[in-house]
Amino acid sequence: MIAATVGRTFLNAWNDKYQKEYSAKEFFEKEYFSLFFDHPKYMQWVTNSPFVQMKKGQKPEFLTHDERIEKLNDLHAKIDAGLRDASIAIGFPASEEKEFATTSGLVTDLGIKYEAEEVYLSWIGGGLGVGVAGGYSIFFDHAQILLTLYEGWKVYRRLLNEPTLDRLRGNQINTWNGQWLNFAFSMDYEENPDFGYLSNYDIFFQDEKLIEVSTIFWARFYFNLSEKLAEETVTAYIYSLGQTNKTMGFIPFRFHQGRSILSIYKILFGENDALTQKKDYEGMFGIHIKRACEFGAIGLQALEPQGLREYFDKAKMPNFTATAVAAKNGETPEAFEERKKKANKKDYENIISFRTYKTWLIAMITKNKQEDLHYSEEVAKALKEYRADAKKRDRANLLENELLQAKTKKQFLDGLATLVKDVDPKLLETFKILRDKVHLMTTEEFGYFVVLLKFDYAYLESKS
């Protein structure tokens, strides 16, 4: 089972780092149990396991240390007796008296024997799943990532034990792992952070009654991992354990492609903006984890920015024109400033959207090719100059309703042929080169290029 495999990778790395020789059972007793279950608030809730099966009158938050040890011994006894269902071994199928339950997936009738060591490894691995938005979790079979998650276990336990954080919810280890992975690989990482420091990074949801860890979107930590693991492709297992177990299978995470996104943004918009706007533009990247897995790998395609697809599917031009804000009669200075603040926020979001969309489109076009990242902008400037020479809207209509809405290369080249009939001679060479480039593009590249050109043209128009 995958959880046991991940547990073994982690335990080997942990023993090596801390110069120990723990077996899986020893680690479970001395480290895992003491962190996860030997406290009023559990870090993990494993349905039907001995740790959640309460005797009459018992509640997890009121158990004594001796009562918790009794439940640990109960688990040991069941493992020694050969029990291997989902309540005893993490990720294993649920069991009925005569056959496996219909809610269990990927069940074999082969008589595979699982040793006790593998069962304890499955528990260790089960605590290393990385929960993401969409109801799925990810197993990374990668020593550095797993050791990083282990450090996060200790922080989560310290927060759960903090008397002032009595509203903090337990049993969220997988959700916590996702947030911790993002934080630990970020530039904001601080060793042994307190709750106040972590609260600045959208890790928690809080109200008067509850504090809980928010589920992170997978693309957030993907970019931070890309900074540290840029030369690696890490194969992960994406799954969901619940009443019905689900799996998306083994999916490679291509971190070098995330690094290329960051590099292109830096080249296009400067190192300072790439750094200060990082949180804003990274938050726009990525599709639902289930759809991302359909590509067979987590990389550039899966990072498609939110909201971009409609510009492929609809004959729609972007609008980046800044919002004009003027004082109204009888309006208080405070109300005016509030409207101005909202308008500025919207304009900033428009800029981030434009930059995010442009970065991804260029990444998809260039991929591993060495090409001028500013080429589409040069073409857009030529189109804008062509448009500006006309007094009527005939040229604008040709550009906005035909050329920039073309779905095929033929439609685009036909529109370009119409355009060059009365173009200024100084622009003619630019459009001849454009014709040749489009002719040589693949159908996929052209689809990205025409949308990119649409954005560059609309952005330049908004600055007129």
The neighbour count for residue 314, using CB atoms within 10 Å, is 9
Helix (H, G, I), strand (E, B) or coil at 239: strand
Q: Which residue has the tokens 């490679």?
A: 252
Quick check: 409 pLDDT over 90? yes
- 413, 439 contact by CB (below 8 A): yes
C-alpha 404/C-alpha 456 separation (Å) is 11
What percent of the chain has pLDDT above 70?
95
DSSP state of 368: T
Torsion angle of the four alpha carbons 245, 248, 254, 258, in this order, in degrees rounded to the nearest 10: -80
Nearest in space to 216 (alpha carbons), one of 187, 170, 178: 178
Quick check: 432 pLDDT over 90? yes
Identify the residue with better confidence: 313 or 278. Answer: 278
What percent of the chain has pLDDT above 90?
74
Helix (H, G, I), strand (E, B) or coil at 254: strand
User: Which residues, other chains included, contact 266 with Cβ-Cβ below 8 Å and sequence gap of 6+?
Assistant: 274
C-alpha 14/C-alpha 144 separation (Å) is 10
Quick check: 407 pLDDT over 60? yes
pLDDT of residue 95: 57
Q: What is the mean pLDDT of the chain?
A: 90
- 385, 405 contact by CB (below 8 A): no
Quick check: 331 pLDDT over 70? yes
Quick check: 257 pLDDT over 80? yes
Residues paired with residue 240 on neighbouring β-strands, in sequence order: 246
Identify the residue with better confidence: 120 or 316. Answer: 120
pLDDT confidence bin for 436, thresholds 50/70/90: very high
Token pair, residue 59, equals: 């509640």
Quick check: 110 pLDDT over 50? no
pLDDT confidence bin for 224, thresholds 50/70/90: very high
Identify the residue with better confidence: 246 or 216. Answer: 216
pLDDT, tens digit, for every residue of 178-216?
Answer: 999 999 999 999 998 999 999 999 899 999 899 999 999
pLDDT confidence bin for 337, thresholds 50/70/90: confident
C-alpha 124/C-alpha 117 separation (Å) is 11
Quick check: 84 pLDDT over 90? no
Identify the residue with better confidence: 342 or 242. Answer: 342
Quick check: 25 pLDDT over 60? yes
DSSP state of 371: -
Q: Which residue has the tokens 């040229």?
A: 395
Sign of the CA dihedral with 180 first, then 182, 185, and 191 last: negative
